[in-house]
Amino acid sequence: MKIHYDLIPEKTKNIETKHRKVCSPIPHPDSIEIMNDLRLYETDSMHDQLPILWDSAKDYQIFDGYGNCFIDLTSTIFVANIGHSHPRVVEAIENSCKKNLLNNYYYPSLERRDFVKKLIEVTPKQLDKCILYTTGSETTEAAFKTMRQNGRKIDNDKIVILSFDGSFHGKTTGSQQLGGKEGGKEWIVNQDKDIYHLPFPTEWYVKDSLLDAGELFLRDLKTLEENGLNLKNIAGIIMESYQGWGALFYPQSYIDAMVIWAKENKTLITVDEVQAGFGRTGKLFGFQHYNMEPDIVCMGKAISSSLPLSAIIGRANILNIDPSMNSTHGGNPLACSASLASLNVLIDEKLVEQSKVKGKMLEKKLLSFQKEFPEIISYISCKGLVAAVFFVKLGTNELDIELVDSLIYRAMLKGVNSVRTLSGTIKLGPPLSIPMDALSEAIDVYKECLIELLEERNNV
C-alpha cells in the first residue's frame, strides 16, 4: 500500500453544480511544485492524505485557487464543525489581533475568562472546572495523570487504567499506550504494564458472545481478574464516545454496567470527546447519548473551529488534585476568542439540532447505498453527522483498504474531499452547516465512482 498518492495531474471532466466545480486536471499542474517542496522538507507522515492544495475554505467547500471547488466531508478531521472560516470566528480572531495580545502564558485575560465561563455554562452541571491545553493528546495525557493521582489518594496500588481495543487517544507516549490500535507501540519498549485493554463491544462481538452487552462488560472484567489483575486497583477507565475509524458506538447496557461498576469501585470514567464533541453526533457531547455522567471529559478539535485549543472538564475535587496542571499555550487569547465565537455560533445557529436532522437523512441515504452493493458494503454506522461505510473484499470479511483508497481518490477528481482512514472505511464528517442537497450529492458521487471502479475491475 502506498504511503502517499502520486503527484500526477489527472485529466478530469468539467463539472459545475451548485456545490462543486472541477475545471482543470487535479491536482492542478501549478500546485505540483508546492506539494513536491512540502514532501522534500517534511516527512512522509505529513503526506498520506488526498493531494488537494488548499488555498481557502468557506463553510462546507474547499477551494484550490485554480478554480476547483470541493465539497468537504472532513471538516478538517472534525475541527470545522460550524463550517470553515465562519465570519464570527474570523472577526473574533481579527479583533484579538488588533488588541495586541497574542500570547499571555496562563496569566489572566478577559478572553480566557469569557470562554471558560461559557464552556462551563453549557456543559452538564456536575462538570464545574476546566483546564485549557493545545492538543487532544495533551488532554488524554492530563486525564491519564489525573485518574492515577486520584486512585493513589485511595490506595497506592490503585493505578490501573482500562481502555478499549481499537481506540485512539493521541500520538504522545502516554496517549498512544492508552490507545488500543494494534502495532505502532514497539518504539515505546517499556510499555506501561498497568494499562489494560478490553475488547470493544461491537455489534458483532456482542452477538457472538451470546450475552447482553452489560453482562459482556462484567465477563471481560472477570477474565482480567482470572489472569491476575486485582480489580480494586483500577483507578480509571478511558473511552471514546465512539471509535473514530468506524464511527462505532457502545451499546447502552454496556455503558450502564460500566457506570455502576465504576461507582461501586471508586473508579473514574474519562470520556474522550476530542472527535465527538460540539454537535458532531447530534448532541452537544457524544456521551449524552448514553445518559451518563463522566468524571472527566477531554475535548479539542471543534472547540475553536480553527485554532489549536483543547480542554479537560470535570469536577473540582478531581481536577484540583495537581497544581502543576497547566500549559504554556493553553488559554491563548486568539484561540479563546475563536472558541467563544465558535461555541456561540453552534448554539445560535442551532447546529447541534441540524446535525441530528441531517444525520437521519445521511443514514437513510447510506443504507440505501448499502442495499445496492450488499456484497462489498458490509456495515453502516451513523449518528448525527459522523458516519462510516465499511467496504470488504468480495466474499470475505476483510476490509478493502485498496478499494476505499481508489474510491476517495476518484471522488476527489469529481469534487468531493474525503479523509483517508487507511482502514477500509469511508469516514464522513462534514461541517454541520452543510446543506442537505450538498451532502446527498456527495454520496451520489461516491456511488458513481464505485460503479466505475467495479466496471473497470470486471473488464480487467
| Domain end marker among 314, 348, 382 | 348
Whether 333 maps to a domain, the answer reads yes
Predicted confidence at residue 397, as pLDDT, reads: 93
- Is 231 found in the same domain as 168? yes
Nearest to 182 by CA among 124, 228, 131, 245: 245
| Domain end marker among 348, 369, 392 | 348
Instruction: Give Cα 375 to chain centroid, integer Å.
Output: 28
Checking if the pLDDT of 3 tops 80, the result is no
**Alpha-carbon gap, residue 42 to 254, rounded angstroms:** 43
pLDDT interval class at 237 (50, 70, 90): very high
**Alpha-carbon gap, residue 81 to 283, rounded angstroms:** 13
Whether 271 maps to a domain, the answer reads yes
Entry pTM = 0.95
| C-alpha separations of 455 from 11, 306, 349, 371, 393 in Å | 19, 41, 43, 18, 15
The angle subtended at Cα 192 by Cα 248 and Cα 319, nearest 5°, is 70
- Is 326 found in the same domain as 183? yes
Q: Answer for the pair 367, 378: CB distance below 8 angstroms, yes or no.
A: no
Whether 190 maps to a domain, the answer reads yes
**Alpha-carbon gap, residue 364 to 434, rounded angstroms:** 17
- Is 451 found in the same domain as 321? no
Checking if the pLDDT of 235 tops 80, the result is yes
Average pLDDT, stretch 369-384?
Answer: 97
- Is 138 found in the same domain as 197? yes
Give the DSSP per-residue string, 261-328. HHHHTT-EEEEE-TTTTTTTTSSSSGGGGGT---SEEEE-GGGTSSS--EEEEE-HHHHTT-TT---S
- Give the DSSP letter of residue 113: H
Task: Please give the residue range of the domain that contains residue 58.
Answer: 15-82+351-459
Predicted confidence at residue 377, as pLDDT, reads: 98
Q: What is the CATH number of the domain that holds 220?
A: 3.40.640.10
Whether 8 maps to a domain, the answer reads no
- Is 167 found in the same domain as 99? yes
Predicted confidence at residue 458, as pLDDT, reads: 84
**Alpha-carbon gap, residue 336 to 321, rounded angstroms:** 24
- Is 115 found in the same domain as 24? no
- Is 30 found in the same domain as 152? no
Q: Which helix (H) or strand (E) holds 242?
A: strand 242-243
Predicted confidence at residue 128, as pLDDT, reads: 95
- Give the DSSP letter of residue 72: E
Place of cell 482502514: 423
Q: Answer for the pair 343, 119: CB distance below 8 angstroms, yes or no.
A: yes
Q: Answer for the pair 23, 68: CB distance below 8 angstroms, yes or no.
A: yes
- Is 157 found in the same domain as 189? yes
- Is 428 found in the same domain as 294? no
Average pLDDT, the chain: 96
Q: Which helix (H) or strand (E) holds 235?
A: strand 234-240
Task: Tell me the CB-side half-sphere exposure of residue 427, using CA atoms within 13 A.
Answer: 21
How many separate domains does the chain show?
2
Checking if the pLDDT of 457 tops 90, the result is no
Nearest to 29 by CA among 5, 13, 9, 15: 9
CB count, 10 Å around CB of 406? 17
List, for residues 164-188, the tens digit of each pLDDT value. Answer: 999 999 999 999 999 998 788 889 9
Whether 10 maps to a domain, the answer reads no
Whether 4 maps to a domain, the answer reads no
- Is 58 found in the same domain as 113? no
| Domain end marker among 315, 348, 381 | 348
CA-based end-to-end distance of the chain: 20
Nearest to 376 by CA among 433, 442, 323, 425: 425
Whether 115 maps to a domain, the answer reads yes
Predicted confidence at residue 112, as pLDDT, reads: 97
Q: Report CA dihedral (439, 441, 445, 446) to the nearest 10 degrees.
A: 30
- Is 74 found in the same domain as 97? no
Predicted confidence at residue 248, as pLDDT, reads: 96
Helices and strands counted in the chain (H then E): 14, 18
Whether 92 maps to a domain, the answer reads yes
- Is 377 found in the same domain as 331? no
Q: Which residues contact 427 (CB under 8 A, 6 or more apart)?
A: 244, 245, 246, 247, 386, 387, 388, 418, 419, 421
Q: What is the CATH number of the domain that holds 383?
A: 3.90.1150.10
pLDDT interval class at 38 (50, 70, 90): very high
Q: Report the SS3 class of residue 227.
A: coil
